[in-house]
Structure 1
Amino acid sequence: MKEFVLTIILSFAGSFLLLYKLIPVSVNFGFCDNPAGDSLKIHKKPIPYTGGIGIYTAFLITMGLFFSIFRYPLTREVMGIILCGGLIIALGLWDDKQNVNPKLRLVLQIAISGITVMTSLVFFKASIFVLLPLLIVYLVGSINSVNLFDGLDGLAGGTVAISLAGLGYIFYLENDFLYLSITFALLGALLAFLVFNFNPATVFLGDNGSTFLGYMLAILAINTIRNGDNLLLLFLTVLFVGLPVVDTAFAIIRRAIKGRPIFVGDRSHIYDLMVINGLSIKQAVLLCYVLQSVIVYCGVLLWRSFHFVSGNN
């Protein structure tokens, strides 16, 4: 277990140092979210959007050290996840800088998700013609749900951190030390990011970070049922994505009813309504943390009820 404690410590330290150095560099090079002229932005000055780069880099370095020091085999499955995660980061950074056409962005997300499924998620006993579209929808849905939920300082990052804690507990019960290490490496990097991101934030996830977290959250959630043989249990794992999925579902319904394009943002999300009704940003974020904790806890209880862990029920 010592190697996993070391993993989260190394990841936290690496992410903290990277972000500490990256924030001023991002400002100097103009990699910032500028609120000027955008009524949906609630921050008042440009804030660097390179949090995702710091998280991914620290995660990548930590995993490299983990595989080297503890001699865990670097499988094709893990390589696919890491490389496709890098593609998600690159796409998100492009979107941060140039506002990629939403339809093109969606097509590219589908393509990256398809590659991920074919290289890293083919452990279910189901027809590929059923598996491929279902898992692509899951991945793309999680990617965009977390992205849409990134609307207040500390919100998306903290929400995903809660999910990672629940997923880490499951991998520990399963003795799945490979995915436990991946979860801890990501969690450590994310916790360091939250030091800089909690209100008032000095760095944002950006689309690069929020989409990467959504991607990794889906990957890890799906892997909690890799030892099961019922593909329908995939829907159980949506609880580990949690509140972002609920918020996104309401956003799609709301925009459809109003006849507005799904890709056009608004300020009627769950967290926005909390602030509109009198909560401070910190209070709204903490309330969302509580709600996410309840949802993830229910996910863990339901997961255990299906006896995926032999001898640990």
Structure 2
Amino acid sequence: MQTYILGLIAAFIVTIATVPIVIILAKKWGFVDKPDHRKVHKGNMPRIGGIAIMIGVAAGVAVLWPQLGEAKDDMLFLVGGALILATVGLVDDKFALGAKTKFGGQTLAAICAASSGIRIEYIQIPFVGNLEFGILSFLVTVLWIVAIINSVNLIDGLDGLAAGVTTIAVLTMLVMALGHPIAYASVIVLSLSLLGSTTGFLLYNFYPAKIFMGDTGSMFLGYAMAIISMMGLFKSVTMFSLIVPLLILAVPLIDTTFAVIRRTLNHQSIGTADKGHLHHCLLAMGFGHRKTVLIIYGISFLFGGVAVLFSQTANWVSLVFLVVILFGILMFAEGIGLIGKQRKPLRKALGKMQLVKRYE
């Protein structure tokens, strides 16, 4: 346990020490995020904080390397995928790559990771049993990694949002893995390293931020979470091994799903940027920057707690929870306008509440 704590501290300290250097280099080399009609910040901001996150994670893994066991053999492929994403992210943060080019880089990184021994070979469906993917496991793994990468990338719209949501998700996975420290040693190592790095980065990234993580950081965080979930959650003995990771990563996945639905209904390309994401809707209601982020943190904690509950309760109890949660998600999304362009009754009501508080 002392060794694990050292890994966490190493990732935390290295990230804190690296961020100021990255800020200087970002400004010097022109890696800055300029404000536009979609963004809420003012003035140019250094935007390659993801480099500090990656260096922090590397430091944590280096300290905990002996604890990885057999997973050491897979690390070469995983590092290769991370380096591909870092390259694509840096180029995008500098020159703003097109959606297809970014998708190609993400797919290449996912293929690199899937070439290791870490794959989604099956899922366990409630009351049915195992669904084996067989030769399709490689494709399923690539799709999962790309989906999580893009989900985290899309929610990175406010100071501290992506880093905080990732921290909560990783913390949830860590809590579940600590119950089986020998079987999930690699999950614990990567989770602690990522946890130390993201919390260290949040000291600079929470509102008002001094640096953004950029696509370099958001894509890496999505990649890392996808890898950790495949190492542990999909191989869990619970009958809900598919639902648990979906719950833990619910906030970015839900936001991405409704973005696709919204853009399809509005006859837009699904790669077209808009201001209909969860954080945009909350801001439009009148919630401030900091409060919006804290609300989404709260939702993330809620889903994390439900995920842990799912892994501990009987199947029928979990199924009831699932139905209630899905109904609540649909009502909430419809209410705040996540699906369409129209201002919904719930969104109006909450907006008026905020205006009243503001003028009291």
Counterparts of 1:261 and 1:173, CA distance in 2: 44
The alignment status of 1:293 with 2:291, answered yes or no, reads: no
Q: CA offset at residue 50 of structure 1? A: 1.3
Q: Amino acid of the residue matched to residue 157 of structure 1?
A: A
Give the aligned residue type for 1:22.
V
Separation in structure 2 between the aligned mates of residue 306 and residue 179 of structure 1, nearest angstrom: 25
The verdict on how the C-alpha distance between 1:105 and 1:264 changes in structure 2, with shifts beyond 3 A counting, is: same
**TM-score normalised to the size of structure 1?**
0.91
Query: Map of 1:84-95 to 2, 5 A cutoff?
Result: 84-95=81-92
Q: Which amino acid aligns with 1:95?
A: D
Cross-structure match for 2:56: 58
Conserved 8 A contact 1:124-1:229: no
CA deviation digits over 1:187-230, x for unaligned, max 9? 10110110001111110010010011011111112222354479
Moved more, 245-254 or 104-113: 104-113
Q: Does the aligned pair in 2 maintain the 1:81–1:120 contact within 8 Å? A: no
- Unpaired runs of 5+ residues, structure 1, are 308-313
Alignment of 1:37-116 (within 5 A): 38-67=36-65, 75-116=72-113
* Deviation of the 1:73 alpha carbon: 5.9
Alpha-carbon contact 1:11-1:59 (below 8 Å) kept: yes
Note closer, same or farther for the CA distance 1:151–1:122 as it changes in structure 2 (3 Å cut): closer
**1:40 maps to amino acid:** R
Mark the CA change 1:135 to 1:71 in structure 2 (over 3 Å): closer, same or farther: closer
Count residues in correspondence.
Answer: 304
Q: Aligned letter for 1:63?
A: V
Q: Which amino acid aligns with 2:185?
A: F
User: Could you say what secondary structure the match of 1:39 adopts?
Assistant: coil
Corresponding residue number in structure 1 for 2:139 = 133
Q: Which of 173, 189, 197 matches 1:189? A: 197
List per-residue Cα deviations over 1:258-280 (Å, max 9, x = no partner): 01111111111111111111100
Query: Are the aligned partners of 2:120 and 2:137 in contact in 1 as well (CA < 8 Å)?
Result: no
Give the conservation status (yes or no) of the 8 Å contact 1:67–1:73. no
Distance 1:234 1:121, change over 3 A: farther
- CA gap of 1:60–1:256, structure 2 versus 1, over 3 A, is same
* Deviation digits for residues 95-121 of structure 1 (CA, Å, limit 9, x no counterpart): 111222211221221222122112142
Greater Rg over alpha carbons, structure:
2
Match of 2:284 in 1: 276
Q: What's the counterpart of residue 162 of structure 1?
A: 168
In structure 2, the partner of 1:149 is 155
- RMSD of Structure 2 on Structure 1 (CA): 2.1
Task: Show the counterpart of 1:256.
Answer: 264
Residue in structure 1 matched with residue 347 of structure 2 by the alignment:
none
Match of 2:116 in 1: 119
Distance in 2 (alpha carbons) for counterparts of 1:306 and 1:21: 50
Secondary structure in structure 1 of the residue aligned to 2:115: helix
Q: Which amino acid aligns with 2:141?
A: L
Counterparts of 1:194-273 in structure 2, within 5 Å, are 194-225=202-233, 227-228=235-236, 233-273=241-281
Q: Distance in 1 between matches of 2:155 and 2:117?
A: 26
Which whole-Å CA distance do the structure 1 matches of 2:240 and 2:313 have between them?
15
Which structure is richer in relative contact order (CA contacts within 8 A, separation 6 or more)? 1
Match of 1:310 in 2: none
Contact 2:187 2:232 in 1 (8 A): no
Cα displacement (A) at 1:124 = 2.9
SS at match of 1:75: helix
Distance verdict in 2 for CA 1:270–1:42, change over 3 Å: same
Shift of 1:92: 1.3
Higher alpha-carbon deviation: 261-270 or 104-113: 104-113
The structure-2 alpha-carbon separation of the partners of 1:236 and 1:243, relative to structure 1 and needing over 3 Å to count, comes to same
